[in-house]
Chains A and B, each alone.
Chain A
Amino acid sequence: MKVRVKLYAMLADYLPAGAVKNEVDVELPEGTAVSEALASLQMPIEQCHLVLVNGVFIAPSERSARRLAEGDALAVWPPVAGG
């Protein structure tokens, strides 16, 4: 299945080849968990602070249970703030 991966701030360094404007479609096995997707991207888990699937926050405790589906958008930020 294809999942749209979006990595921002210093996590942009982990974007696979072919990414445009912080986004890239990634092929993942059906039913991949959020935690598995992050691992497959070789993301530093301690830096994965804000993890959103289709814009909805996935708490660290939910990442292994939350399964991704075809067409989902997985967006990740390190600890950031503004205002």
Chain B
Amino acid sequence: MAWARKILRVNLTKGTCADEALNMEWAQKYLGQRGLATKYLTEEIDPKVDPLSPDNKMIMATGPLTGTCASTAGRYSVVTKGALTGAIACSNSGGFFGNEMKNAGYDMIIFEGKAAKPVYLLVQDGSAELLDAAEYWGTSCWNTEEGIKEKHGDPLLRVASIGISGEKGIKFACIVNDMHRAAGRSGVGTVMGSKNLKAVAIRGTLGVRVDNVDAFMSSVIAGKAVLAENAVTGQGLPAFGTQVLMNVINETGALPTHNHRDVQFAGANNISAEAMAIPRESDGKPNLVTNGACFGCTIACGRVSTIDRTHYTVRDRPEYQKASGGLEYEAAWALGAATGVDDLDALTFANFICNEQGFDPISFGATVGAAMEMFEDGTITTEQTGGMELKFGSAEALTTLAEQCGKGEGFGAEIGLGSKLLCAKYGRPELSMSVKGQEFPAYDSRGIQGMGLAYATSNRGACHLRGYTVASEILGIPEKTDPLVTEGKAGLVKAFQDATAVVDSAGICVFTTFAWSMDDIAPQIDAACEGDWSVENCMAAGERIWNLERKFNLDAGFTGKDDNLPARLLKDAAKTGPAKGKTNGLDIMLPEYYAARGWTTEGIPSNETLNRVAL
């Protein structure tokens, strides 16, 4: 129960769609979504495969709770070998697509091979077919989604698609579903584009059954009460969204600014949640129109925004004057502080373009920041940029590059290499603020020490969502720890990583963990699924999944030496704020982390550990 017990296998080379039974033995060990899809991927591909070759596979996977009435239970993940990183990639998205996929009768869809010409997959209640996507190729995610709904006369179809950026091989292309939600990181959209797969459209009405209905309803109701009564999930997130962090992280001196040269941004308040609520001079309305929720979510942190109609980006472009997906904190940081741009409307416009053309605003903004540093020191000139003055703080440069990157044109196509390849191309590899090829999100690890370890050891490259110790180190959830010390951070990072792997494998949103502990989550999984899903067994599954991902990366050619941070964070001390004079203490934390994981001093899981986690 909870699992649909069925997989759809789509061979794009042959043009076939076939159902097969879900491996329930694996489901009992890897739960679903992130964990179970990773198990399938690691069993089916050579870890050394070129991410963009037809031999790489891409899996869209739901969790056992996806499509149930548990709060936030609409999640799905895309698991593949990442185009940006060459590491295991797992990008998680909300919206409504995941629920639809589960209700169409599938736990996951495995895509293999490469179509001879652009296609899209149409799935309706247990039936599937590949259709010609010629009319959508070369168009945006927004046009593709609207076009497919119109063609099939079904506005209730849920669509996940790539934009032109994914077709053109931008390394950090996303898969966008429901117009504004995205499987955003690591270049999963680039892999989809390499397979000539433009979109997946799904309609599902079959329902999801759970194992123990009474126990499930009791645990779900209890869980929703916890979320409603918690000040963060019940009040803070719906009212202010994730963007409330902008001023928090700036004040604590951990807001990476100007490609991590600085840790505080003078313009932070201008691009914050508070700024989004201030009425504009032109029409008296604020940037923020309302909040929004994904399927089944009782938090509703999403932002819906408009751009000032007098702003240069939209003045003559009414198509961008409508309300659309607004800034979340990570995007606002990358498009803003990383580039030194504090023009809220310019950031909102760039964010719209990221959604429209399907590319990751974090990697995009961070790479623009690296390019701006290279422009300011003369490494890149107007000869390369096509005459553009690529200076920190230039809103015009940011929005121009967003439009170019979205279409794979001009210097925007160079930005689309990602910072690692771009900086290497221009002979300045040290200026790429990334780990395993993926750009940092919005927390400077000189001011939040544990995040340095979380970034260095994240299996998908630098990422805040693999182990969000910011919750403890800054926000005091579940309890406050000192962000400026390394002591205790190895265990903290491991605990966050393992617990998050469970959440990402269950079908629910990681934001529930601002209120829920595993004591709230495990009973919901246990009631929905066959088997023993006690807190202990859930955490054991989380640790197993983490080690499975690690093993894939080691087999792909990564080593412990890749568990590292750029020299800037290890040698250049923070210049201002509470962390002034500090660098990240990764050299202290990493050996402690390896020991806590039961890995060798080279970062390899020992045989004893592999046996313990049943790998």
Contacts and interface: CB of A to CB of B under 8 A. Distances in A.
B251 A52 contact: yes
A10 interface: yes
Contact residues of B: prevailing secondary structure: helix
B236 A75 contact: no
B236 A22 contact: no
Contact of B578 (A8, A10, A50, A55): A55
A21 B274 CA distance: 8
Contact of A50 (B233, B237, B248, B468): B248
Nearest to A8: B247
A21 B267 CA distance: 11
B293 interface: no
Given A49-B231, A55-B253, A55-B577, A81 B247 contact: no
B476 interface: yes
Identify whether the interface residues of A are mostly helix, strand, loop, or mixed.
loop
Given A49-B476, A78-B231, A83-B465, A8 B248 contact: yes
A12 interface: yes
Contact of B470 (A8, A9, A50, A83): A83
Interface in A40-83: 49-50, 52, 54-57, 59, 73, 75, 77-83
A81 B232 contact: yes
Interface residues of B, number: 44
B239 A10 contact: yes
B252 interface: yes
Interface string B231-251: 111011101111111011001
A79 B248 CA distance: 11
Contact of B269 (A22, A50, A56, A78): A22
Contacts of A81: 232-233, 236-237, 242, 244-245, 471, 475, 477, 511, 514
Report the interface size class on chain A: 20 to 34
B330 interface: yes
Contacts of A59: 480
B142 interface: no
B111 interface: no
A12 to B, nearest CB: 7
Interface of B: 230-233, 235-237, 239-245, 247-248, 251-253, 269-270, 273-275, 301, 328-330, 464-465, 468, 470-471, 474-477, 480, 482, 510-511, 514, 577-578
Given A21-B270, A57-B474, A81-B244, 10 more contacts: A6-B247, A21-B275, A22-B269, A57-B482, A59-B480, A79-B232, A80-B475, A81-B232, A82-B245, A83-B329
